[in-house]
Structure 1
């Protein structure tokens, strides 16, 4: 019935939806476009319209081109191999060679493997985030590196333009650090939740930001946790979105829930 539609769990099994659809209280969310889809009036039809959109299809195509698997769990043997590849050279000085025709000097250098190139691209993406570079500033950066380091095989395979840098940050780095923050909250025990909601002038929706304040390595640290975009801002809607945001946390460790000022904390 129009005006009373809500998310159905069976939609997650639909082939056209399962790679991007996510439940957000009563509505749906596209994790690729980072957009909340209102289901109130159209229900599943709203999802069908979204999946046919040009912006969504381009985002899905870009996601398929992103190199997967770097942050996924690995077996012990794979981890040891990766660490060995990234280990620094030994500090022990090499013995001088007295032979002009030393075979070690004539041996070809090994080719750069894909993991080494990916590591360089991730380090560059982290630098962009840490220094507040725009993603657009990454355009043609690979061409610059090739000119700067013409003899380096790693520079020749490096490729991290605007779109790739954005997807490495959004689908690789962000989920990885978000998972570390959740594990830290579980391991360290007690923590404080902070939230506030205001109008997002770009999306024209109310945005609820949630932060964690926890004790970590002899320091009190406040860290951004997540955001929820709210189509309606009634008290029940705010409570539903708040509970949805913290459902993966250990609720027994919550010391305090804070918002705005001391007079409204509890």
Structure 2
């Protein structure tokens, strides 16, 4: 009977109730709210959404959890005509749980998927003692995600537009590694073709080294000619 009710709940995009056994003698019941993107959020879900957005903002701006202790009172004072603000309630303990147990698993899955799809990565590790005086091992993955090229290009072109810099005056892009950011180079070049009917100078994948080596070779030749003339 319970399975039939769950099936109907799935069809109606309402609720799904699961009973999970935690030990041999105890069990807990969890209700998952299924949200249909074509339907407006319920009021309680709108409040939860506001609290989640604040949690994300706190992470993005590296806010202390303690900064959230009075934020609900502040929002209620600022937005007295908002029912969501009146119900908004989040303190340092709640935001900690929202981030660690609500948001982190989702972003962790995205990160793992991203790492699996990358061409290669560098693993950095750091063993240290945390604030609880416990040993912990931190792992850091460094890799290039080609999907992020759009972010880099948008940032460059956006800065040009904001500061009124004429992109037609851009001669070339210089970078410290010839094997990265090739996608950015191509996208900037395509943007120049489209906007000003011009292209970047193409003198190799690492123009800084090419120019440096060319200048050095030229100076060597000049020195040899000078020695011949004075000799």
TM-score by length of 2: 0.47
If each structure's helix is expressed as a fraction of its own residues, which one has the higher value? 2
From the CA coordinates, give the structure whose radius of gyration is larger.
Answer: 2
TM-score by length of 1: 0.41
**Structure ranking higher on relative contact order (CA contacts 8 Å, 6+ apart):** 1
